[in-house]
């Protein structure tokens, strides 16, 4: 077991602040150090004293640095410096979130709180759908890679987009009354704003705490959210699925694409300069059928012509879509695709209608489809086409 913990901490890290995975290793490490110093002491007694003293100083310095980091990270003093039985002081942001959620819930209610732990444990009679997948089996096992990978788990950003991703479609099918998510995640995914509605209007802003934001299910009918497998999708345009990405025929390193092209994975987006044209090409590692094209952007500075081409290996199997974006008007494209055709290359071209330089912010690029692992996973869970 100790060997497993050593490997886990060395490879994955100790994401629970306080080194809770490391604690079981302290005793064997201390024993190892003691045995080592004892072996040295038999041959070089004075050297063993120096080594033991150095290890003691190193431990004290490390403890002081850890305490400073702990207080800075949690924005509060260590509990041994300010002993108290006040739960607000002991549980901090989580107790604040609990206080905000309690008036909104009732026994038997289902909520989607994006973490496991103190808050859902304290909500007696309330079931929690953990959207990081720590305690929710479906979310934990879904074989999609178009996620934000955190130290805790995989996070699928919430935004204005409809619930076309497999994890969001699953959540909508379960119909939680509340969605509770970290405010910092919402701000990152939505250009520094707490948007009034998420998941295509299925949930609206209810309230916020210093750390969390709560969305409540709206009156919009979601009871007819289709449980069929064709609505459980993933974004094929995400860099995680790409073999090659190029912008204006210049290759973009896959590992750098998330930073340079955030429109492919989060709602923050990036500016596109048309002088007079711009092109994005994503070649997939494995072809897959695509069900839906979803694009969204800010108002362009001039009229822009956008063309999207989705193609496979078969000749004549390309699907094309084009649209004129009017100057000064934000735009959204939601277009159904022929899922019988396999997509292996995604091309988006945009050019200024007048030929004069133009620019706009490309917020979202989604080519929602299903790879074979996802189809198999859905069938395993009884979600049929």
Lowest-pLDDT range, 18-27, 53-62, 279-288? Answer: 18-27
Distance CA 321, CA 294 (A): 11
If we measure between CA atoms, which residue out of 176, 159, 169, 174 comes closest to residue 113?
176
pLDDT tens, position by position, 341-363 = 899 999 999 999 999 999 999 99
Task: Please determine, for residue 18, whether its predicted confidence score (pLDDT) is greater than 60.
Answer: no
Beta bridge partners of 306: 323, 350
Q: Is 124 left (phi over 0), alpha (psi -120 to 50) or beta?
A: beta
pTM for the model: 0.81
Task: Please determine, for residue 105, whether its predicted confidence score (pLDDT) is greater than 90.
Answer: yes
What value does the mean pLDDT take over residues 129-149? 88
pLDDT tens, position by position, 254-277 = 988 888 999 998 767 889 999 899
Determine how β-strand 234-235 pairs with β-strand 212-217: unpaired
- E strand or H helix at 235: strand 234-235
Task: Please determine, for residue 166, whether its predicted confidence score (pLDDT) is greater than 70.
Answer: yes
Task: Please determine, for residue 228, whether its predicted confidence score (pLDDT) is greater than 70.
Answer: yes
Distance CA 359, CA 13 (A): 42
Length of the chain: 385
Would you place residue 45 in the very low, low, confident or very high pLDDT band (cuts 50, 70, 90)?
Answer: confident
Phi, psi of 82 (to 5 degrees): -135, 70
pLDDT given at position 75: 66
Distance CA 72, CA 95 (A): 19
Question: What is the Cα gyration radius of the chain?
Answer: 26
pLDDT tens, position by position, 298-342 = 999 999 999 999 998 766 668 999 999 999 999 999 999 998 889
pLDDT given at position 121: 87
Beta bridge partners of 295: 333, 365
Distance CA 143, CA 166 (A): 10
Mean pLDDT of the chain, nearest integer: 85
Task: Please determine, for residue 297, whether its predicted confidence score (pLDDT) is greater than 70.
Answer: yes
CATH topology for 234-369 is Jelly Rolls (2.60.120)
């Amino acid at each position: 077991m100790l060997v497993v913990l050593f490997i886990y901490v060395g490879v994955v890290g100790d994401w629970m602040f306080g080194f809770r995975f490391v604690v079981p290793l302290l005793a064997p490490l201390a024993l190892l150090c003691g045995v080592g110093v004892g072996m040295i002491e038999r041959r070089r007694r004075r050297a063993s004293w120096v080594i033991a003293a150095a290890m003691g100083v190193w431990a004290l310095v490390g403890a002081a640095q850890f305490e400073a980091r702990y207080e800075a990270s949690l924005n509060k003093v260590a509990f041994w410096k300010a002993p108290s039985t006040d739960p607000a002081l002991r549980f901090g942001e989580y107790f604040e979130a609990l206080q905000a959620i309690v008036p909104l819930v009732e026994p038997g209610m289902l909520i989607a709180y994006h973490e496991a732990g103190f808050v859902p444990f304290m909500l007696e009679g309330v079931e929690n759908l953990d959207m990081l997948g720590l305690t929710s089996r479906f979310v934990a096992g879904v074989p999609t890679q178009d996620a934000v990978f955190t130290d805790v788990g995989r996070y699928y950003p919430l935004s204005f987009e409809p619930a076309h991703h497999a994890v969001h479609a699953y959540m909508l099918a379960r119909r939680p009354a509340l969605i509770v998510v970290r405010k910092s995640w919402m701000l990152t995914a939505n250009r520094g704003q707490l948007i009034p509605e998420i998941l295509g209007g299925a949930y609206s802003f209810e309230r916020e705490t210093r750390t969390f934001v709560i969305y409540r299910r709206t009156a919009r009918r979601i009871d007819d959210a289709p449980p069929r497998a064709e609505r459980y999708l993933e974004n094929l345009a995400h860099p995680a699925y790409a073999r090659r990405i190029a912008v204006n025929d210049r290759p973009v390193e896959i590992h750098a694409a998330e930073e340079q092209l955030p429109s492919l994975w989060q709602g923050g987006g990036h500016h596109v300069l048309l002088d007079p044209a711009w092109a994005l090409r994503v070649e997939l590692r494995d072809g897959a059928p695509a069900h839906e094209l979803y694009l969204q952007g800010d108002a362009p500075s001039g009229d822009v012509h956008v063309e999207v081409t989705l193609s496979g290996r078969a000749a004549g199997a390309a699907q094309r879509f084009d649209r004129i974006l009017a100057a000064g008007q934000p735009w959204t494209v939601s277009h159904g695709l022929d899922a019988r055709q396999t997509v292996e290359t995604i091309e988006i071209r945009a050019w200024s209608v007048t030929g004069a330089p133009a620019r706009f912010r490309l917020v979202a690029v989604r080519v929602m489809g299903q790879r074979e692992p996802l189809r198999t996973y859905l069938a395993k869970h009884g979600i049929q086409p």
